[in-house]
Structure 1
Amino acid sequence: MPSRAWLRRAVPLVLLAACLCPWLAQAAAGPIVRVDVGARQPVLVGQQVGIDVTILAPNYFLSAPEFPPLAVPGAVVTLPDARAVNSTETIDGVAYAGIRKTYAFTAEQDGEFRLPAATIRVTYAGDDGAPREGSVTLPLTTILAGTGGTGTAAAGATAGRRLLPVARLSVTQALDHNPDHGVVRLHAGDALVRTVTTFAPQTQAMMIVPPHAASPRGVRMFRADARLSDQAQGDQAQEAPGPGGTRVDTLTYVFERPGTYTLPAVTVDWVDPATRRPASSAAPAVKVEVAAARDAGALAPGGPPAGALRGEGGLPWRMLLWAAGALLGAAVLAPLWRQLRPRLTRLRQRRAERRRARAEGADARLAATLRACRAGDAAAASQALGGWTRAAHGTTPAAWAEAAGDAALADAVTGLQRHLYGAVPVPSAWDGNPLAQALGRHAGPAPQRPRRAAPALPPLNP
């Protein structure tokens, strides 16, 4: 009887516990984290492996969790810029919302690698809709990397060479000149642009090694910076379509002399994931025939003139060189011109003064005197004669006439002065022909004044 009474009291407690267990389980539920390595181990050195990190939270997330960067010595771990994958699932009767991101892991050497125990904070909604804070810590995850016994997968990591990607690469190329029956035909001075595109399925573009490219003798090659993209699709890789990385290299070849050239094939190295041995893909070689340079004014059929720059509307590079030289010369001469301009101005002023001085000199004054004499203009003749004798002989007209010793000249000069300044009235008309004739006999260059002799030295021994 006592045992039956105990059972009657225990049954309600069991039923109550059965009802409360789901509620207690949901109340005690918190965020969960899972880590899955998307490849069979050991992975190959150089092989890109996806590591899925999934965070689960009860009900739903109030904000997206922030996935931290992971640093693993001896390996490259990146978080590609791809959208997170959302999911829902039920665990022990509790509804969870999930967010998954995939890390890209590439081992650079043999060994065992452990992911760091990073902590990720989570904000989610409780049963009452109020926000709750939680956190998850990445569990211990080990990745084993090796060469698969062949020793070739890590060939790039040894001997100081760059690590080769473990993926079947595909290479394509495009030319900016269409080949004519398999041959690109150019003229001396032209350039050929070769665009090489390398696609690596399921591999980031940063893991693609630069392609091997060379140029034949007599051809200059210029390599532009590569363009990398991780959003490309493997349209070229028919064997393994899907997302991957793309590397685009642009090579420019300049042909300066006529002739026949063969541009070598462009090759890219990789490791075959099936055989685990090194392999390579290649863009085929290009044959080019270069004719003599065109005339400067002639246009190439379907292209810019010889010596034109690509992408510049066919503007000749020689014109650009001349323009650059002119700008450089202007930049150099501008300061020099600022310094020389005042000097040139002063030089022009001196030349003008000399011309004016010559116009006002002895010859000009003599000519003016003769004109005034023939015109019978006594006042003009007297003024011009006085200026000429001062400029040519450094004296007055009367003194010069007296020194000349010509009685007719002296009378003509005296008659001119008496006509103008004499106290006795004279006829108004003045005949200047006698003075003009006398000037014609004695006019000439001004006599040089004798230099003053230096005083004699006193005798040394008086």
Structure 2
Amino acid sequence: MQRHLAALLLTVFACLLPIVALAAAEPIIRVEVGAQQPVRVGQQVSIDVTILAPNFFMSAPAFPVLQVPGAVVTMPDERALNSTETINGVAYAGIRKSYAFTAEQDGDFELPATTVRFTYADDNGAPREGSVSFPPTRIRAGAGGTVNAGGPKQPLVPVARLVVTQALDHALDKGSVALRKGDALVRTVTTFAPQTQAMLIQPPHAPAPSGVRVFQADPRLSDNARTTAGPGGTRVDTITYVFERTGSYVLPPVTVDWLDPATGRPATSQAAAIKVEVSSGHADGALAPDGSAFGWLGEGGSFWRIVIGCVCVLLAAMVAMLAYRHGRPMLARWRQWQAERSRRRAESAEFRLASVLRACAASDAAAAYLALGDWTRAAHGMPLDVWAASTGDASLMEAVTTLQRHLYGARSESDVWNGKPLAEALQRHAATPQTRRHPPAASALPPLNPAKAVNPP
């Protein structure tokens, strides 16, 4: 009898254990640094943040922007990864997002203890508000290689291998470029660094030989490049060489410095040197100094050149007078149309929503609140609080409440409002049809306190 009773109790306990575990289950956050510490200065390190919630998510977590002094932390534009796993008999749904961390100096860095909020389903399928905070996470950065290009030392980019390629706007002929005196040669240098942000790539060294003028445009940076070596950053530099003298020239190789993380030693990648042959000679159709281009005018070419010049000046003056006389009314009408168009655009719901999103991106709480009220009245015909409640969106109402609490609640001067949750919530509702409410019908009842008419004496 005792054995049967014990077996019955064990069975009941085994059946109740999953229920108890599910009732006590809470969201979990994991932060994993994808590199062995200490990392090198300038080395891009991935930080994987995984949020786990019981059952399933009913709203996606709003991963925050991380601000770490002395480091650059970005969130690559990649989709979050979804996963499932079982912990202590409870099924969890997971969402993972990766950050890119790059230290700009030596030292220890602490990730901020930011709170992430979301909605998930409880054991009955009802929505439940959840939140998790980043655990204490420290990243240690050690010394890296530096380069000194005639100024303060700058950290080198630690990469597996940095690739430098170049392209010319003139074709090579037997190993050299043939130009004429006064011509220009455009040299486009592309530097690719795998698993590295483009802003961290060192500028290329591109010296020019004597007698050649050099003009270098601002670089073009891109972090979305993908090659056989994987994703990475790309820096594109455009260098223009102007040859004002004849002769043979050699443009030196273009070099870019980087750091080999395997050996810890500086390395250099380069694009090959270019040979240029500059010859004298006039371009086709150029005017000869003796005026031979006007030979078709005969021996009296100088006289006819003066006559043709005077006729051209008279024609130009007549065209200018006609344009001034008939163009002024057209210009006035065009300016009036532009002003009316600008006014309609400024009063449109799309323009007001764009103003809200710009204020959210700048974390300007006061501007965002004013622009948001204008938008809800223009697009939906109702005040902000009424429209937010009518959407039934919990995250939107939470974002609006947070904004109001920040503006009108008790807070310290150091509090900073984050406009990203509000911007994401608004973008979800921006595509809904604009339903402007009709003005309320006139009431059949007389006014409560009618104003008395004042008769003149």
- Counterpart AA for 2:152: G
Provide, for residues 393-422 of structure 1, a one-character-per-residue CA deviation record: whole Å limited to 9, x for no partner.
xxxxxxxxxxxxxxxxxxxxxxxxxxxxxx
Q: Please state if 1:165 is matched with 2:153.
A: no
Q: Contact 2:146–2:154 at 8 Å: present in 1 too? A: no
C-alpha displacement at 1:274, in angstroms?
A: 1.1
Q: Which residue of 1 aligns with 2:263?
A: 275
Residues in 2 aligned to 1:158 and 1:294: alpha-carbon distance in whole angstroms = 41
Q: Which residue of 1 aligns with 2:243?
A: 255
C-alpha displacement at 1:121, in angstroms?
A: 0.7
Q: Please state if 1:98 is matched with 2:94.
A: yes
After superposition, where does 1:148-159 map in structure 2 within 5 Å? 153=145
- Counterpart AA for 2:191: T
Q: Contact 1:77–1:103 at 8 Å: present in 2 too? A: yes
Residues in 2 aligned to 1:77 and 1:289: alpha-carbon distance in whole angstroms = 48
Residues in 1 aligned to 2:151 and 2:244: alpha-carbon distance in whole angstroms = 39
SS at match of 1:243: strand
- Counterpart AA for 1:92: N
Which among 28, 35, 47 is matched to residue 31 of structure 2? 35
Gaps of 5+ in 2: 287-311, 325-457
Q: Please state if 1:183 is matched with 2:179.
A: no
Residues in 2 aligned to 1:159 and 1:283: alpha-carbon distance in whole angstroms = 24
* Alpha-carbon spacing, 1:75–1:100, altered in 2? closer, same or farther (3 Å): same
- Counterpart AA for 2:61: P
Q: Contact 1:189–1:293 at 8 Å: present in 2 too? A: no
* Alpha-carbon spacing, 1:263–1:297, altered in 2? closer, same or farther (3 Å): same
After superposition, where does 1:102-181 map in structure 2 within 5 Å? 102-147=98-143, 153=145, 160-167=152-159, 168-181=161-174
Gaps of 5+ in 1: 236-240, 299-325, 339-462
- Counterpart AA for 2:249: Y
C-alpha displacement at 1:234, in angstroms?
A: 3.2
Q: Which residue of 2 aligns with 1:228?
A: 221
Q: Which residue of 2 aligns with 1:207?
A: 200
* Alpha-carbon spacing, 1:117–1:91, altered in 2? closer, same or farther (3 Å): same
What TM-score comes out, normalization by structure 2 length? 0.59
Residues in 2 aligned to 1:273 and 1:117: alpha-carbon distance in whole angstroms = 30
C-alpha displacement at 1:186, in angstroms?
A: 1.0
After superposition, where does 1:362-441 map in structure 2 within 5 Å? none
Which among 37, 46, 51 is matched to residue 50 of structure 1? 46
Q: Contact 1:117–1:138 at 8 Å: present in 2 too? A: yes
Q: How many residues are paired up? A: 294
Q: Percent identity?
A: 66
SS at match of 2:225: coil
Q: Please state if 1:264 is matched with 2:242.
A: no
Q: Contact 1:233–1:243 at 8 Å: present in 2 too? A: yes
Q: Contact 1:46–1:154 at 8 Å: present in 2 too? A: no
- Counterpart AA for 1:220: R
* Alpha-carbon spacing, 1:82–1:131, altered in 2? closer, same or farther (3 Å): same
Residues in 2 aligned to 1:210 and 1:64: alpha-carbon distance in whole angstroms = 40
Ranges of 4+ aligned residues in structure 1 off by more than 6 Å: 7-11, 156-159
C-alpha displacement at 1:46, in angstroms?
A: 1.6
Residues in 2 aligned to 1:155 and 1:287: alpha-carbon distance in whole angstroms = 28
SS at match of 2:35: coil
Q: Which residue of 2 aligns with 1:197?
A: 190
Residues in 2 aligned to 1:27 and 1:196: alpha-carbon distance in whole angstroms = 60
C-alpha displacement at 1:281, in angstroms?
A: 0.9
Which among 3, 16, 20 is matched to residue 12 of structure 2? 16
Q: Contact 1:124–1:131 at 8 Å: present in 2 too? A: yes
Q: CA RMSD in A?
A: 3.0
Residues in 2 aligned to 1:24 and 1:293: alpha-carbon distance in whole angstroms = 92
Q: Contact 1:88–1:97 at 8 Å: present in 2 too? A: yes
Provide, for residues 168-190 of structure 1, a one-character-per-residue CA deviation record: whole Å limited to 9, x for no partner.
21101111111111100011222
Q: Contact 2:31–2:135 at 8 Å: present in 1 too? A: yes
